[in-house]
Chain A
Amino acid sequence: MDNPLSLEPLFHLGPVPITAPVVVTWAIMLALGLFAALATRRLSLTPGKLQTVLELLVTTVDSQIRDTMQRDPAPFRALIGSIFLFVLIANWSALIPGIEPPTAHLETDAALALVVLAATIAYGIAGRGLGGYLATFAEPSWVMIPLNVVEQITRTFSLIVRLFGNVMSGVFVVGIVLSLAGLFVPIPLMALDLLTGAVQAYIFAVLATVFIGAAVGESHGPAGQDQKDLPR
């Protein structure tokens, strides 16, 4: 049984060892980028099938951000949407035979969670100013400063371990069952993995939204105009 915590490099690019998750990650990034560029090249006011699907996706992400943050989703749409789509495609990339999801390795999840941490700090400073953002650490009172600093680290760590544990355990269980039983037995487990992957991608994006929303603070303006008839 393979060790799920260590990685063998596929090949070396100069002095840099390149592992399989890195290749898959770049392939997903390339595929998503090319797809987005090609799909949005000819946008029209009377959308076709593809554009309708894309618009549905964007409005769903927007309404989720608006529900969570109670403010205009435009500054956060690109980050949250990209994170959600990337994690979703990465979790589902196990559908292609021979490809292991890059999120089943600790390094990819650590990179994603660090992106969220950096975005939290950047949006917090942009929203409140440096002094204002630092003052939130002393929020109910100054006694809470160590706890608030530790919380930033622990919640990033739990973000890493949550995604890693869920995806890796799915891959692991399918591997164990495949080694015990025949060809068709792991299929229900793989179907369960699809559900887990989608739910984990959603949770990762929602938690990123919650963290960034907490960093930028309460909104003072109206939270957008089309909030009244959202399906909840």
Chain B
Amino acid sequence: MTANLIEIVSILAAALAVSFGAIGPALAEGRAVAAAMDAIARQPEAAGTLSRTLFVGLAMIETMAIYTLVIALLVLFANPFV
């Protein structure tokens, strides 16, 4: 069974893209949640507003990871060179 070299490279590239692309958003989400926890601990009555804003911000940060996922899927399923 001889797999095409481009397919092997594509799968490696997809794995690399998702693994390294997830690092930045993961760190950023950690910082955002930590800051929100800190703010809720200081001011519990603002928890509703804070968590709503936190959800929207997390979704925005998560979008960066989603972009790499889309790139990985493009490489896997819609690769122009295969």
Contacts and interface: CB of A to CB of B under 8 A. Distances in A.
Interface of A: 3-6, 158, 161-162, 164-166, 168-169, 195-196, 199-200, 202-203, 206, 232
Contact of A200 (B49, B59, B70, B73): B59
Contact of A165 (B63, B77, B78): B63
B70 A165 contact: yes
Interface of B: 49, 55-56, 59-60, 62-63, 66-67, 69-70, 73-74, 77-78
SS class, residues of chain A in contact with chain B: helix
A38 B68 CA distance: 44
A25 B53 CA distance: 30
Contacts of A169: 66, 69
A166 B25 CA distance: 14
B49 A161 contact: no
21 contacts: A3-B77, A3-B78, A4-B73, A5-B73, A5-B78, A6-B77, A161-B66, A161-B67, A162-B63, A162-B66, A165-B66, A165-B69, A166-B59, A166-B63, A168-B70, A169-B66, A195-B55, A199-B59, A200-B59, A203-B59, A203-B60
B32 to A, nearest CB: 14
Given A161-B66, A169-B69, A232-B49, A202 B56 contact: yes
A5 B76 CA distance: 10
Given A158-B63, A161-B63, A165-B66, 20 more contacts: A3-B77, A4-B73, A4-B77, A5-B73, A5-B74, A5-B78, A6-B77, A161-B67, A162-B63, A164-B70, A165-B70, A166-B66, A168-B70, A168-B73, A195-B55, A199-B55, A199-B56, A202-B56, A203-B60, A206-B56
